[in-house]
């Protein structure tokens, strides 16, 4: 019962709450406690849960002591009982202790003269009794000593004054010895109490603690938490640490303990790895700990207090987060993704290096929200702002693409998506976003679109020509054969050849995309193959193909495909360098490779274009001139050489010509 269910008279309440002494109120012949102030509860060593309990149930340690009988007699007789210097044994914090009290059991009677309440007031006089006892004992001792001295004086009345003087000194020394003995006893009692408090502190501490005694670090006091970390039970108490935990022998902890013991300097360990035998398995754990030396009266270390905490879960969690972040960074770097967090109020952005690079900024430069919108083409800014505002409004994700201009004037494309973040009041205060530079993707798509347009145009031209020739031939089919028939047939043949070339490029492209371009390798003489190649160019009589190099070089490769590459190089020389009458085809043996080069002496190719020549769908713009073809030839050549395990490339100097080359393993 936490509070009394009784209503006391105002007089009793006034006494109860105003009394400076410990006060309690009882009722009934079973002596039920109906109220008690804090002072009385403190005397009893109890809390307010005793209110409403029978006196003997609330203080069972008083059973066998006279108090209950006195209370019952006061209740029966209605006569007040007053006691002075009365002894009592009360249980305080689980320990029976002796006290002395002055107290009064006052009967409070009702209008019928019957006892209604017993008012109990008390004051502790233990110190007074102890002092009185000490005085009495001292007086008794002094009386005894005086009597002894009188007896001695009577016996040795004839003893000289010197002996009396010595006796007086001996008396003083004896008194001092008694005093020091009492002092020593008090110190010893204090030490025992301190040791008990220390042991209780260690054993009931919520953190892992242990006390190690002596040079061999004998396990003296441990609590359950540190035993759980060690993977041991209380059988280790009394054992040297190296025997209790033999797995520590080759680890640094025993050495650290020795240094702390010898130097008296405490040691702090942060996230140190320890291997402990837990359930017969050697287990790795990470520990934060302190080795605190405790000195004796001579200043030398006698005990080391160990305070520890197991941080293995925190370390593992942190490593997991670090691993996830590392993988995320690797994935983002591999995909050229940049991330940022924007403070919408200040425009301050916390951006990754890649995010800045996507907008043409270096990692060390400051990059703000205003810089981002400044880079976006003006006609796209409001659209992007609208998407951001809509995402904030619906707590959704925005995703868009837009062109930007770097500070060097170059055009780039950005793919962006982001999501707002809100404060505790539900107001959007941040925007988390990610971007990718998709310029290459856009260029590829543009080239693909251009290719489809070109392919349509390139196929339509010869088909239209072929259709017209066939229509004319159909109209002339009943007329006598003439030069017009021959011209139309030849024109139709050329149109078919163009269609065949275009279709072959498309088929090769399809095979490459599906990785179905198969090589049929044979051993052949490279010089002989080059001598037979490109006869269509030789037959025109406009160009001189000059073959240079070792005439005995042999290759193990697909002769038809290698011939296709050479023909493409020569056709490009004829197409883009029509005034270069000489075309040099050179072979040379390098270390493990054969290199074949085709050189013209035309206008050359811009150095900025060279890295893209072998890309799919790429077509060179030569000073605004228009050339037929799908822009697939060099890409197909590069794939053929790649399948042979070789390399391909081009070199050019404006005004001096170009050299296209490839290598094939011998």
User: In whole numbers, what is the pLDDT of the chain averaged over residues?
Assistant: 83
pLDDT band with cut points at 50, 70 and 90 for residue 505: low
**The tokens of 505 are what?**
């490029």
pLDDT of the residue at 631: 58
pLDDT of the residue at 446: 66
- Please give the Cα distance from 50 to 67 (Å, whole number): 17
pLDDT band with cut points at 50, 70 and 90 for residue 457: very low
pLDDT of the residue at 267: 94
pLDDT tens digits, one per residue of 380-415: 999 999 998 998 889 899 999 999 999 998 899 999
Q: Is the dihedral of CA 79, 83, 86, 91 positive or negative?
A: positive
CATH architecture of 522-665: 2-Layer Sandwich (3.30)
**The tokens of 653 are what?**
């100097």
pLDDT of the residue at 206: 78
Lowest mean pLDDT among 192-196, 419-423, 559-563: 192-196
pLDDT of the residue at 2: 42
Selection from 666, 464, 644, 648 nearest residue 572 by Cα: 648
Do residues 354 and 337 make contact, with C-beta atoms less than 8 angstroms apart? yes
Question: Is a pLDDT exceeding 50 seen at residue 560?
Answer: yes
Question: Is a pLDDT exceeding 70 seen at residue 494?
Answer: no
pTM: 0.34
What is the CA 584 to chain-centroid distance, rounded?
Answer: 63
CATH architecture of 205-316: 2-Layer Sandwich (3.30)
Lowest mean pLDDT among 20-24, 150-154, 207-211, 589-593: 150-154
Query: What distances in angstroms separate CA 603 from CA 118, 235, 606, 610, one per listed residue?
Result: 126, 94, 10, 14
Torsion of CA 310, 313, 319, 325, to 10 degrees: -140
pLDDT of the residue at 584: 95
CATH architecture of 443-513: Orthogonal Bundle (1.10)
Taking the domain 335-437, which CATH number applies? Answer: 3.30.450.20
Please compute the mean of the pLDDT values over residues 236-261 and round it to a whole number: 92
User: In the chain, where are the structural domains located?
Assistant: 10-124, 205-316, 335-437, 443-513, 522-665
**DSSP character string of 546-593:** EEES-TT-EEEE-HHHHHHHHHHHHHHHHHH-TT--EEEEEEEE-SSE
pLDDT of the residue at 328: 63
Shared fold status for 205-316 and 522-665: no
- Please give the Cα distance from 37 to 44 (Å, whole number): 11
pLDDT of the residue at 325: 66
- Please give the Cα distance from 231 to 252 (Å, whole number): 19
Q: Show the DSSP H helices in 245-297 as ranges.
A: 253-263
Lowest mean pLDDT among 186-190, 349-353, 594-598, 661-665: 186-190
Nearest-Å Rg of the Cα atoms of the chain is: 54
pLDDT band with cut points at 50, 70 and 90 for residue 492: confident
Lowest mean pLDDT among 232-246, 401-415, 513-527, 556-570: 513-527
Report the CATH fold assignment for 10-124.
Beta-Lactamase (3.30.450)
Here the contacts of 488-496 (C-beta below 8 Å, separation 24 or greater) are 491/465, 492/465, 492/466, 494/462, 495/462, 495/463, 495/465, 495/466, 495/469, 496/462, 496/466
Rounded to 10°, the helix 559-576/633-643 angle is 150
pLDDT tens digits, one per residue of 606-624: 888 888 888 765 655 544 4
Identify the helix (H) or strand (E) that includes residue 92: strand 81-92
Lowest mean pLDDT among 118-122, 316-320, 331-335, 405-409: 331-335
pLDDT of the residue at 254: 92
pLDDT tens digits, one per residue of 195-233: 677 677 677 777 889 999 999 999 999 988 999 899 999
Three-class DSSP category at 654: coil
pLDDT of the residue at 622: 44
Please compute the mean of the pLDDT values over residues 518-547 and round it to a whole number: 87
**The tokens of 442 are what?**
């856009």
Biggest CA-to-CA distance, the chain: 187
pLDDT band with cut points at 50, 70 and 90 for residue 318: confident
pLDDT of the residue at 533: 86
- Please give the Cα distance from 414 to 389 (Å, whole number): 19
- Please give the Cα distance from 587 to 548 (Å, whole number): 6
Question: Is a pLDDT exceeding 70 seen at residue 448?
Answer: no
Backbone angles phi and psi of 426, in degrees to 5: 85, 15
């Amino acid at each position: 019962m936490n509070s009394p269910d009784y209503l006391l008279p105002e007089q009793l309440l006034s006494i109860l709450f105003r009394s400076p002494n410990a006060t309690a109120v009882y009722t009934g012949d079973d002596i039920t406690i109906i109220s008690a102030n804090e002072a009385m509860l403190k005397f009893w060593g109890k809390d307010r849960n005793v209110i409403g309990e029978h006196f003997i149930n609330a203080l069972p340690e008083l059973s066998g002591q006279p108090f209950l009988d006195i209370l019952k007699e006061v209740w029966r007789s209605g006569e007040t009982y007053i006691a002075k210097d009365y002894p009592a044994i009360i249980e305080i914090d689980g320990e029976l202790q002796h006290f002395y009290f002055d107290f009064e059991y006052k009967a409070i009677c009702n209008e019928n003269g019957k006892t209604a309440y017993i008012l109990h007031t008390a004051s502790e006089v233990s110190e007074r009794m102890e002092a009185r006892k000490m005085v009495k004992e001292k007086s008794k001792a002094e009386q005894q000593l005086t009597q002894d001295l009188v007896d001695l004086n009577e016996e040795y009345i004839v003893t000289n004054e010197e002996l009396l003087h010595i006796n007086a000194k001996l008396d003083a020394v004896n008194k001092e010895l008694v005093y020091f003995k009492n002092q020593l006893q008090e110190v010893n009692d204090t030490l025992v109490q301190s040791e008990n408090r220390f042991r209780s502190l260690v054993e009931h501490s919520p953190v892992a603690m242990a006390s190690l005694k002596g040079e061999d670090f004998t396990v003296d006091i441990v609590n359950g938490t540190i035993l759980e970390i060690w993977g041991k039970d209380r059988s280790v108490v009394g054992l040297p640490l190296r025997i209790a935990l033999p797995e520590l022998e080759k680890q640094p902890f025993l050495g650290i303990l020795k240094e702390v013991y010898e130097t008296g300097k405490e040691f702090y360990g942060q996230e140190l790895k320890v291997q402990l035998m837990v359930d017969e398995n050697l287990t790795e754990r990470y520990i934060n700990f302190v080795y605190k030396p405790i000195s004796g009266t001579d200043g030398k270390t006698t005990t080391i207090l160990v305070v520890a905490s197991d941080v293995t879960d925190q370390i593992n969690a942190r490593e997991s987060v670090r691993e996830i972040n590392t993988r995320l960074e690797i994935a983002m770097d591999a995909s050229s993704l940049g991330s940022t967090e924007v403070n919408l109020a200040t425009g301050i952005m916390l951006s990754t290096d890649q995010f800045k690079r996507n907008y043409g900024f270096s990692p060390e430069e400051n990059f703000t929200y205003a810089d981002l919108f400044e880079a976006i083409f003006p006609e796209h800014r409001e659209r992007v702002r609208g998407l951001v505002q809509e995402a904030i409004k619906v707590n959704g994700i925005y995703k868009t693409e837009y062109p930007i201009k770097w500070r060097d004037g170059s055009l780039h494309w950005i793919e962006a998506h982001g999501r707002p973040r809100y404060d505790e009041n539900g107001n959007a205060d941040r925007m988390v976003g990610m971007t990718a530079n998709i310029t290459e993707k856009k260029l590829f798509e543009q080239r693909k679109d251009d290719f489809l347009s070109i392919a349509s145009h390139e196929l339509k031209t010869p088909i239209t020509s072929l259709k017209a020739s066939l229509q004319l031939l159909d109209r002339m089919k009943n007329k006598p054969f003439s030069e017009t028939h021959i011209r139309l047939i030849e024109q139709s043949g050329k149109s078919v050849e163009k269609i065949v070339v275009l279709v072959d490029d498309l088929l090769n492209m399809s095979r490459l995309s599906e990785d179905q371009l198969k090589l049929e390798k044979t051993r052949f003489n490279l010089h002989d193959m080059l001598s037979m190649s490109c006869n269509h160019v030789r037959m025109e009589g406009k160009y001189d193909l000059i073959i240079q190099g070792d005439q005995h070089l042999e290759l193990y490769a697909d002769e038809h495909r290698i011939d296709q590459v050479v023909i493409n190089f020569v056709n490009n020389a004829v197409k883009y360098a029509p005034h270069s009458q000489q075309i040099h085809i050179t072979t040379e043996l390098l270390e493990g490779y054969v290199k074949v080069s085709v050189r013209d002496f035309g206008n050359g190719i811009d150095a900025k274009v060279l890295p893209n020549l072998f890309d799919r769908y790429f077509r060179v713009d030569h000073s605004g001139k228009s050339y037929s073809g799908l822009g697939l030839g060099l890409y197909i050549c590069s794939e053929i050489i790649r399948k042979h395990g070789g390399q391909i490339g081009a070199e050019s100097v404006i005004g001096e010509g170009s050299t296209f080359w490839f290598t094939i393993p011998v």
